Amino acid sequence: MTTDEAPTLNETSKRLTEVILKGDDQDAARIAGEIASGRAETNDVVDAISETMNIVSDLHEVERYTVQQVESCERAAESALNAIRPGLKVEQRRISGRVMVTSLHGDPHTFDKTLLLTMLEMGGFSALDGGEELSPEDIVRNVKAVKPDVLAIPLVTASAVNNLLRTRSLLANSGAKTKLVTFGRGVTKLPSDSQLSAVEEDSLTILSRIAEILIAL
């Protein structure tokens, strides 16, 4: 990308952020498609969408966005993700094992979960949608019923940290062999001795860590 092109890309990315914050799913898909059709790396567009959803999370935590507004923004973000999906660069891996992705009660944000599921599917992994905003008890019941090799939980808000730690404790006590990993900006709130199989801030890195865990099984 040349220096002359950069302002145009930045301006278009700003427009994408604005329409996602408004919850406009049609414009979000259109603008994301425009960016991806240019010289920009599609994975960079994913970063822009993810950063926008971090803004949405901040607004929700300070009670400036209602749950309904958050859901509207997430629909717009998912529409943008679907628009650029053909151009996403995810390394194809033939690795056996199943990965369940679910979100905790206290984290009313679905985009990180949707993004990881998308990348898992594109990467050739066996991905399972474990549901949204579940209690630790419900998650452990699902794990015992389905027996995934890896359980991945996005952690966006600090309020969900205790639920994640309780999930870890319940899993350990249940005797389940499922490896628990977490990702998202909320991981910075975890204690250093969280005793999880992998902890990463971004989806692409946790994808690589999940692959490493499955290969080692």
Residue 27's domain spans which residues? 6-87
Please indicate, yes or no, whether residues 67 and 173 belong to a single structural domain of this protein: no
Q: What is the mean pLDDT of residues 119-145?
A: 93
- Domain end call among 87, 122, 148: 87
Q: Is residue 1 part of a domain?
A: no
191 φ/ψ angles, rounded to the nearest 5 degrees: -70, 155
Q: What is the pLDDT of residues 187-211, one digit of tens each?
A: 999 998 889 999 999 888 999 999 9
pLDDT at residue 2 greater than cutoff 60: no
Residues 70 and 159 in one domain: no
Average pLDDT over residues 123-129: 92
Rg (CA), the chain: 17
Is 133 in the same domain as 83? Answer: no
My answer on whether 212 and 139 are in the same domain is yes
Whether the pLDDT of residue 38 is over 90: the answer is no
Assess contact for 126 and 101: CB atoms under 8 A.
no
pTM (two decimals):
0.83
Specify the higher pLDDT residue, 33 or 93: 33
- Average pLDDT, rounded, for the chain: 88
pLDDT band at 145 (very low <50, low <70, confident <90, very high): very high
Query: What pLDDT shows up at residue 20?
Result: 96
CATH code for position 207: 3.40.50.280
Whether the per-residue pLDDT at 4 is higher than 60: the answer is: no
Q: Which of 87, 121, 153 is the last residue of a domain?
A: 87
Domain end position, chosen among 55, 87, 119: 87
Q: For residues 106 and 41, state if they share a domain.
A: no
Contact call for residues 145 and 118 (beta carbons, < 8 A): no
Q: Out of 2-6, 31-35, 70-74, which region has the weakest mean confidence (pLDDT)?
A: 2-6
Note the pLDDT tens digit of each residue in 45-79.
888 898 899 899 889 888 899 989 999 999 999 99
Q: How many CB atoms lie within 10 A of CB 81?
A: 21
For residue 203, the surrounding DSSP H or E stretch is: helix 203-216
The reported pLDDT for the residue numbered 98 is: 95
pLDDT computed for residue 3 by the predictor: 42
Domain containing residue 18: CATH number: 1.10.1240.10
Mean pLDDT of 151-177: 92
Check residue 157 and give its pLDDT: 80
Give which of 20, 209, 17 is closest to 119, Cα–Cα. Answer: 209
Mean of pLDDT values over 141-153: 97
Count of domains for the chain: 2
Same domain, 59 and 106: no
pLDDT score at 40: 57
CA dist 55 and 65 (Å) reads: 10
Are 155 and 211 contained in the same domain? yes
pLDDT band for position 176 (cuts 50, 70, 90): very high
Q: What is the mean pLDDT of residues 154-179?
A: 92
